[in-house]
Amino acid sequence: MTNASGLQHLCVAFRQLGMMVQKMAQPMFLPWTFERAQLRQFLAAVHHEPASERLCDVLTARHFDQLWTDPLLVQFLRTRCLLCGLQFHPAEVSGHLHRAHS
């Protein structure tokens, strides 16, 4: 539910802005850099996955568009919890993040 409160809430404003940015020719801007050592530490639960190394490559090279265009990364990010490594149905990832890691 997009308008529910609590664990099932999806912020419509952020979703709409994300969809808008995805369609813009202007590249995504993040005002910080990613350090590979810090990424590996953050991704320790999924470090054995090939997609994990690919995610590090994409973030350190700042090729953010590949986060939603690379099939390996899309499948990885929509079904895996990066914090504990558990695998979920795409509809369950958001709820898991709120329940287990907030």
Binding site for Zn ion (CB under 5 A): 81, 83-84, 100
- Closer to Zn ion at the Cβ: 28 or 81? 81
Residue 102 beta carbon to Zn ion: minimum distance, rounded to whole angstroms: 11
Buried b (16+ CB within 10 A) or exposed e, 9-30: eeeeeeeeeeeeeeeeeeeeee
- What letter does residue 63 receive in the DSSP assignment? -
* Separation of alpha carbons 89 and 14, rounded Å: 22
- Closer to Zn ion at the Cβ: 49 or 63? 49
Residue 99 beta carbon to Zn ion: minimum distance, rounded to whole angstroms: 9
Residue 76 beta carbon to Zn ion: minimum distance, rounded to whole angstroms: 14
- Closer to Zn ion at the Cβ: 61 or 84? 84
Place of tokens 């850099």: 33
